[in-house]
Amino acid sequence: MDEEFKLKNESQSQWEARMGKEILSFLRDEIYKDLRFMDVALSALTFVEREGMQMFATDGRMLYFGPEHTIEIFKKNERFLERAYLHSILHCIYGHLWIRQDRREDLWNLACDIAVEQVIDSLNKPCTKRILTLLRKQVYERLKNLNIVSASQIYELLYEDSKNFEPEEHIKWYQKLAREFVTDDHSFWPKKDNKQMSQRENDTYKDWQKRAKEISHNKSFSNSDEGGDIASINLAVEARRGASYRDFLIKFSSLHEELKTNPDEFDLAFYSYGLRLYENIPLIEPLETKESNKIRDFIIAIDTSYSTSGQLVKNFLKKTLEILGQSENFFKNARVRIIQADDLVRDDIIINGDYNIEKLFSDFQLKGGGNTDFRPTFTYINNLIKTGEITSPDGVIYFTDGRGIFPQTKPEYKTAFVFLEGYEGKEEIKVPAWVYKEIIHKSTLEQDEKGNGNGQFKTFTGKTKRSRGV
């Protein structure tokens, strides 16, 4: 009776909001009929009305919609709304909201929309069918030829394309693609200024990672017609969700005990009380060790073969040294070795203590230009350990384009290969199972060349020297 009374007395805006939510529920059910394996994702968003909105929008928890606009579009083109609903869901599945990092917002938004639309058009289901325009066909054909599927790969392509236009032509180029592919509003996505995700955003991101994993491993559909649809959706899942190179490098650093009082675990009150009560005999002794993410011996190996870009190598080194030099990542007497190698070890620079990045790179020259063979570098490091010049290194980072000869056995020390985005190219590169791969984006390194916009890098003072072993 109360519900009936409310319905009779609801305002126009209340009626539109209610009808809008009923339409969204209908859209969700229609998509479910064609894509049953996506049930955990389709029902994950709560519908929230926002007056005046002309597109759907999501923050990973809510699906925002304009009631009046939704009703009008539903009358004319139900299929468009079904695709738009699925479009926003796929953004969440692929983590697009949370993994922009330092990329340009306009190009990232467009890249994400193109990636999602490509997946939707590949499904060939009643809820997704549409006539492909010539522009879409051309874009999809180009992506196929370049073996590009993910938003991060598409971004790199757009970033390179954008360099070919003058400002006025760039606007026309961007608007042409935007009119074709932009389907939803990204204004509710986390902003670049949010250096650290809030706990709520982090929890939302993790929830979607779980849903994506559940969809990916949904074996109940693996032998059905929908098995191919799952494969199509999985094809574009981002391989390195949310983890920037900075995040990776910080986590890659080793934990070591440093001899100093640990104030977090030492109770000064009990210590002082014992000194007073028992005449300089403390009840407890101070803990003399504290774990800290610091690196004692760290090796940065650089592939300087003919296929590696010199400027990108320098930018990579600058970025890596900047991250390592921040916060508490170094002991006071940290040692960092920069090894240049192609098929032979060509140079070994040792950085002791503090350092000056600009001074280091003012006369820095790449040495190499031959073929790529990673084995001599590891042989060289093993000899350093054998001769006692270094202990087992706390980390080895090897920057390369991936086209080289890898050691057959895993080194006894922690090692990671950092590949430039798109290193695979059209040819499959065979990488041993033991290799840990981290991907870094070309656009990120090119932006770092400008020093985050002002051409300046953080400066430290100190010494460098060359090893006599090369």
pTM of the model: 0.64
**Band of pLDDT at residue 355, cut at 50, 70 and 90:** low
Percent pLDDT > 70 in the chain is 70
Specify whether the CB–CB gap between 367 and 347 falls below 8 A: yes
Among positive and negative, which fits the CA dihedral 134, 137, 140, 146? negative
Specify whether the CB–CB gap between 291 and 326 falls below 8 A: no
Counting Cα atoms < 13 Å in the Cβ hemisphere of 373 gives 10
**Band of pLDDT at residue 112, cut at 50, 70 and 90:** very high
**Band of pLDDT at residue 268, cut at 50, 70 and 90:** low
451 or 73: whose pLDDT is higher?
73
- The order of strands in the sheet holding 46-49 is 46-49, 62-65, 57-58
- SS3 labels along 293-352: ECEEEEEEEEECCCCCCHHHHHHHHHHHHHHHCCCCCEEEEEEEEEEEECCCEEEEEEEE
Number of other residues whose CB lies within 10 A of the CB of residue 323: 19
Tell me: the pLDDT tens digits for 215-251? 877 645 544 555 555 555 654 455 444 456 777 787 7
- SS3 labels along 116-142: HHHHHHHHCCCCCCCCCCHHHHHHHHH
Query: What is the per-residue pLDDT for 224?
Result: 52
Query: What is the per-residue pLDDT for 8?
Result: 65
**Band of pLDDT at residue 53, cut at 50, 70 and 90:** very high
332 or 80: whose pLDDT is higher?
80
Chain-centroid distance, C-alpha 294: 23
The domain segmentation of the chain, as residue ranges, is: 13-238, 246-254+295-466, 256-293
Over range 453-470, report the average pLDDT: 45
**Band of pLDDT at residue 315, cut at 50, 70 and 90:** confident
Dig out the tokens for 344 from the structure: 């032979």
76-90, 100-114, 244-258, 370-384, range with the lowest pLDDT: 244-258
Mean pLDDT, all residues of the chain: 79
Residue 264 pLDDT more than 90?
no
Query: What is the per-residue pLDDT for 235?
Result: 43
Specify whether the CB–CB gap between 124 and 410 falls below 8 A: no
395 or 291: whose pLDDT is higher?
395
Over range 205-220, report the average pLDDT: 80
d(CA 148, CA 236): 9
Query: What is the per-residue pLDDT for 184?
Result: 97
Query: What is the per-residue pLDDT for 2?
Result: 61
Query: What is the per-residue pLDDT for 354?
Result: 58
**Band of pLDDT at residue 150, cut at 50, 70 and 90:** confident
The dotted CATH code for 246-254+295-466 is 3.40.50.410
Query: What is the per-residue pLDDT for 396?
Result: 92
9-18, 196-205, 276-285, range with the lowest pLDDT: 276-285
Number of other residues whose CB lies within 10 A of the CB of residue 378: 19
**Band of pLDDT at residue 77, cut at 50, 70 and 90:** very high
d(CA 79, CA 208): 25
221 or 47: whose pLDDT is higher?
47
Specify whether the CB–CB gap between 248 and 67 falls below 8 A: no
**Short-list 194, 25, 205, 179, CA closest to 98:** 205
**Short-list 174, 238, 181, 205, CA closest to 97:** 205
Most confident of 5-19, 326-340, 427-441: 5-19
